[in-house]
Each structure stands twice: as C-alpha cells, then as structure tokens.
Amino acid sequence: MPQKKKFELLEHESIEECLERMKKEGYSPVRRIEKPIFKEKGKKGEPQYFRQSIIFEGIKK
C-alpha cells in the first residue's frame, strides 16, 4: 500500500512551486482538491468568500 501525503498550496506559492516541493520529497501528485474558504463578516456573522484552498494528494514514488 503506497504512502499518501497531502500538500497544501501555501499563500505566496505557485502551483508549480508546490509540485516541485512534492517532487523533492519523493511524492507524485494523484489528486487535486479545491475548497472555498469563507470568513464571517458583519454583526450577523454572514459568510463571505475569502479565498480558494488548493490541496494536492501525492503518493510515494
């Protein structure tokens, strides 16, 4: 069974840099996950879109 590890795209990092970081650690990407991140705004705590979180799942080569 291959080892899996998740790599989250850092705030000031490009996708290419994240994939290179995975490669240096000996992982190969098999899945990309995107999730929206919301923050509460106003007195009522209404959710407002903040940014997109990108996570790559990799398996050990």
| Helix H or strand E segment including 3 | none
Residue 1's pLDDT band, with cuts at 50, 70 and 90, is low
Alpha-carbon Rg for the chain, nearest whole angstrom, is 15
- Enumerate the domain spans of the chain: 4-60
Residue-wise pLDDT for 7-37, tens only, equals: 999 989 999 999 999 999 999 999 999 999 9
Beta bridge partners of 6: 57
The DSSP 8-state label assigned to residue 59 in this structure reads E
Contact 58, 2 (CB under 8 A): no
Residue-wise pLDDT for 33-61, tens only, equals: 999 999 998 888 889 998 999 999 999 98
**What phi and psi values does residue 14 have, to the nearest 5 degrees?**
-85, 165
**Per-residue pLDDT at 45:** 85
